[in-house]
């Protein structure tokens, strides 16, 4: 109840003009949204900015510019959804640019190969999203298939029901029958799309979705989210 009251107060306050300038400068998609969506997005941003913690890594100092630019893209996924604001997510770690993660790969016969993999972002189930700031900026302005914020936050949505299966929570608050229909439709459409992408990747055909979406259903959902939005 306390959280609800705080949110009501938060969302009824005007959207700060400094944040508005940041969104307009960094996120060209904002002005393409219909006015009601823009207002809804701004409400979500206000909640996100207060409830999520940001930490700079690799010497990066967190600014309002960084926070608002990430929040604006992440909150696009919350539009028209009866949903919480990424309830499991607590912290967003931000590096200045792509960062390297030590990895170990089994190459056979008990032999492991150690290397460092460059990453633009990742999502952890333990309430953390990691992002490279230069990739966040690229994604916000690009009209291509790739957007690291949408991708990593799509994983957060997918995990809200405890499963990484490419299906976010659907039809929250609706009757059991309505929700059942939604999940059945989702399963049918998604499985067909996933199999189609896998077949195209195997035969080296290009698709509107990135090849990476053929990795598994969870990545398919994240990649499809990037392309759709």
Contact residues toward Zn ion (CB under 5 A) are: 219, 222
Cβ atoms of 167 and 186 within 8 Å: the answer is yes
- Minimum distance of Zn ion from residue 174's CB (angstroms): 28
- Minimum distance of Zn ion from residue 152's CB (angstroms): 7
- Minimum distance of Zn ion from residue 73's CB (angstroms): 15
Q: Which residue is nearest to Zn ion (CB)?
A: 222
Q: Which is nearer to Zn ion, 46 or 210 (CB)?
A: 210
- Minimum distance of Zn ion from residue 207's CB (angstroms): 17
Q: Which is nearer to Zn ion, 78 or 222 (CB)?
A: 222
Q: Which is nearer to Zn ion, 47 or 154 (CB)?
A: 154
Half-sphere exposure of 169 (CA within 13 A, CB side): 18
Q: Which is nearer to Zn ion, 16 or 127 (CB)?
A: 127
Any idea what DSSP says for residue 198?
H
């Amino acid at each position: 109840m306390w959280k609800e009251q705080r949110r009501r107060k938060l969302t009824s306050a005007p959207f700060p003009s400094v944040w508005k300038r940041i969104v307009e400068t960094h996120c060209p998609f904002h002005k393409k949204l219909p006015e009601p969506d823009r207002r809804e997005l701004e409400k979500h941003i206000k909640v996100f900015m207060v409830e999520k913690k940001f930490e700079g890594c690799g010497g990066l100092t967190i600014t309002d510019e960084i926070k608002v630019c990430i929040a604006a893209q992440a909150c696009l996924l919350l539009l028209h959804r009866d949903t919480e604001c990424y309830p499991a997510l607590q912290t967003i770690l931000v590096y200045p640019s792509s960062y390297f993660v030590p990895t170990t790969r089994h190459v056979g016969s008990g032999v492991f190969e150690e290397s460092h993999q460059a990453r633009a972002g990742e999502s952890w189930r333990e309430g953390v999203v990691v992002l490279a700031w230069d990739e966040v900026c690229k994604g916000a302005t690009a009209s291509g298939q790739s957007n690291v914020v949408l991708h990593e936050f799509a994983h957060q949505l997918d995990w809200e029901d405890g499963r990484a299966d490419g299906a976010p929570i659907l039809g929250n608050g609706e009757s059991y029958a309505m929700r059942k229909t939604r999940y059945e439709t989702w399963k049918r459409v998604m499985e067909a799309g996933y199999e189609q992408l896998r077949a195209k990747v195997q035969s080296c055909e290009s698709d509107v979705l990135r090849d990476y979406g053929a990795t598994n259903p969870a990545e398919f959902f994240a990649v499809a989210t990037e392309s759709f939005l």
